[in-house]
Amino acid sequence: MAIDLKHLTIEKAHDALAKGEYSAVDLAKAYLDEIKKKDGEIHAYLEVFSDVIEQAKHADEIIKSGKAALLTGIPLAVKDNILIEGKVASSASKILEHYRAAYDATVIKKLKQDGAVFLGRTNMDEFAMGGSTENSAYGPTKNPHDTTRVPGGSSGGSAAAVAAGLALAALGSDTGGSIREPASFCGIVGLKPTYGAVSRYGVMAMGSSLDQIGPFGNTVADTEILFNAIKGQDAMDGTSMDFPEKKPKSKMKIGVPRDLLTIGGIDEAVLKTFNESLEKLRKLGHEIVDIVLPNVKYSLAVYYIIVPAEVSSNMARFDGMRYGTRVPGANGIEEYFLSREAGLGAEVKRRIIIGTYVLSSGYYDAYYNKANTVRDIIRDDYRKAFEKVDVIATPTAPSVAFKLGEKLSDPLAMYLEDIFTVPMNLAGVPAISVPAGFKEIDGKKLPIGIQFIANHGGERTLFALGRNFLGEK
């Protein structure tokens, strides 16, 4: 039977599976057909798994036994930096081209217990470094709304898969906007959870003090279901913890940091959509107030010191010795140099070099220590703000999806795309991007997102506001 994938949600699919309207195998086949039809052009997937139908059969058995969870039989896409035992996990890098994961990431273990179906692993910027998915060693992903444009990044493959109907929902990771920016560019919902809300055991580390795994969905409800399935304290990640559930208020006080919107370089259409969205929120009964976050303007500078520093440390393990690609050399040391030269891409090398510089003797205090001190005062800005408001709202990204190749030769311009998303990673607070409008260029409607930010552990507040904003029940 034909399944209407276009309007499908996790809840609808779950109901249909439970009632036996179609099986998990039918549903998986429907998505595999879509992938076959469309992914040649979009290139959201690096690999579609060969055992999808077997996974779906297993889900059907769970459904038959009457023990189905909400995600049983739900077809998901997984970012290529999250480990699934026995499957290749390359982080879209040449150095891990043939690397097979030796264990399941905690999020994967949880989803397997629920009987979710993994369709494949999705394209990304190499080791999650980038904002356009153009830094993949396997070619870029295209934006489903306009295939001459980027889907955003680094989780661009996951976002494009969900937006193009090539997966019902997906997992990504967010270190400075890598879930929210592609969600905004692709017109879907993406959540960066509170630092520590989701275990990072089994996700490849990029900026360890900032990384979080998070969900993508077509609706806020789908995003929430996936988040609830993967969250929670895990003995394998010492930074993970359970956050007490706070019941969201029905009428919220929403703070708008106006000074951050006057920095220039923000697309007029993005500002217009943002202001219209605030008006909509006001009409829904929420109170909009101006707030000041005096030090948040330094976020991007702090971020592009802390991230390269952590990257240069985290990437040291990729040396061709214990796993990954090894390029033969005259001696062991030369093999490090050659393996890293051949295996790592330009952006990864660039960040390693910058990281080595800011951590080197004589510069450490001026860069890394200073960045960490300023990070603390940025965190304080948020702490103080959340004494007065329930939620903070900003645009998700300063522009709509840009053209493939447009910013590739200017790393700093690419970094500036993260201006609204990095502060939350520095502060560790959760943030969600939801679709707010479009900008029409050359007859193509390009999505614009709005970002809602809550205090630590405030995901339920974000889901409640997101649903209210989009008119979901």
Instruction: Please give the positions annotated as active site.
Output: 79, 154, 178
Q: What CA–CA distance (Å, rounded) separates 173 from 95?
A: 20
Q: Does 31 bind another protein (CB under 8 A)?
A: no
Work out which of 412, 443, 471, 473 binds another protein, going by CB under 8 A.
Answer: 412
Residue 314 contacts residue 302 (beta carbons within 8 Å): no
Minimum separation from the CB atom of position 302 to another protein (A): 7
Q: Does 126 bind another protein (CB under 8 A)?
A: no
Minimum separation from the CB atom of position 458 to another protein (A): 18
Residue 241's alpha-carbon distances to 120, 191, 221, 227, 235, in angstroms, are 29, 18, 23, 14, 9
Q: Which is nearer to another protein, 365 or 442 (CB)?
A: 365
Q: Does 209 bind another protein (CB under 8 A)?
A: no
Q: Does 456 bind another protein (CB under 8 A)?
A: no
Minimum separation from the CB atom of position 88 to another protein (A): 11
Q: Does 13 bind another protein (CB under 8 A)?
A: no
Q: Does 15 bind another protein (CB under 8 A)?
A: no
The kind and range of the H/E element at 420 are none
Number of residues lying near another protein (CB under 8 A):
59
Q: What CA–CA distance (Å, rounded) separates 191 from 401?
A: 19
DSSP codes of every residue in 97-148: TT-B-SS--HHHHHHHHHT-EEEEEE--SGGG--SSSTT-TT-PPPBTTBTT
Residues 301-340 close enough to bind another protein by CB under 8 A: 301-302, 304-305, 312, 316, 319-326, 329, 331-333, 335-338, 340
CB atoms within 10 A of CB 166: 29
CB atoms within 10 A of CB 62: 18
Query: From residue 369 to residue 398, what is the string marking binding to another protein with x (rule CB under 8 A)?
Result: -xx-xx-xx--x--x---------------
Q: What CA–CA distance (Å, rounded) separates 28 from 110?
A: 20
Q: What CA–CA distance (Å, rounded) separates 80 from 284?
A: 39
* Residue span binding another protein (CB under 8 A) among the ranges 155-163, 253-261, 360-368, 453-461: 360-368
Binding site for another protein (CB under 8 A): 85, 99-100, 102-103, 235, 238, 295, 298, 300-302, 304-305, 312, 316, 319-326, 329, 331-333, 335-338, 340-341, 344, 346, 349-350, 352-358, 360, 366-367, 370-371, 373-374, 376-377, 380, 383, 411-412, 415
